[in-house]
Amino acid sequence: MMESDKRIVNPGKNGNLIGEKGETLIPPASWTFLPAGDAGITRKVTSKGVFWRVEVKMGRRIISQGIWAPATTILQAQEEVMAARLTDEYKKKRVSDIIRLDHKQALYDAEFCKAVEDYLGFHQIYKTIEKKLAKAVTVHAIPVGSGTVARTKTIPIEERAAHAVIAWMRHQTTAYEQVKIARIKGERRAVRREYAQQSGALLAIYRQGRGIPGNCPLKKAILNIHTDDE
């Protein structure tokens, strides 16, 4: 066995794997698969330097399905990590980490919700609606691991908020979910752009303080929002 054998592979047919050069690969008989999900065990295994990481592309994201590695390495890593997690020191650190992450998440929730309110910028007579909508968009957009634009740090929070509002409206106030989009390059982007324009026109009504039509889809969507305060 090589001292170092790190590879990125993709799922192939019949349980085989596809290497970076397109070659078909079969894991050694002494290897086994460790599904993604437990970062501690995965880090312990990969620190040994012998593994194949199985990745798939989902939209613009690269998702790790897990790793192939020697069965003995995975078993040893599992035993070491599980033993460490039974110690009082680990349990105390875990509680501390959860409190810290919850606090960090709460701060981001509030910051993001404020950014959404700023983007909405409704007229004074619609401020109550603005707050209700901002909270709904925030709840939808920011769960950890959601993969939404709200979780990325590559663009300013103001842009994240704007994208989150338009995405929420696309699903809640348009026929996007029922539309059959042709498998043509750029077609989905074009459809989303059209619905974004419609959403912008709806938001303008509330920003300018104009009367809301009885059949306003945003009004209907807002009426269906149920918050913890209600």
Each residue of 168-221: pLDDT tens digit?
Answer: 999 999 888 777 877 888 888 888 898 899 999 999 999 999 999 889 999 999
* More confidently predicted of 70 and 16: 70
Minimal CA–CA distance to 50: which of 32, 24, 25? 32
Q: Cα separations (Å) of 50 from 3, 5, 40, 227? A: 7, 5, 16, 49
Interacting residues of 118 by C-beta distance below 8 A, sequence separation 6+: 158, 161
Across the chain, what does the average pLDDT equal?
89
CA atoms of 138 and 128, how far apart (whole Å) = 16
Which segments within 36-156 are labelled E, that is strand?
Answer: 50-58, 61-70
pLDDT in tens, 91-147: 999 999 999 999 998 999 999 999 999 999 999 999 999 999 999 999 988 876 555
Give the per-residue pLDDT at 203. 96
pLDDT in tens, 139-176: 988 876 555 666 777 789 999 999 999 999 999 998 88
CATH 3.30.70 boundaries in the chain:
5-85
- Contact yes or no for 66/35 (Cβ under 8 A): yes
Pick the CATH number of 5-85 from 3.30.160, 3.40.50, 1.20.120, 3.30.70: 3.30.70
pLDDT at residue 1 above 50? no
Token pair for 113: 């919700």
Q: Tokens 């889809």 appear where?
A: 217
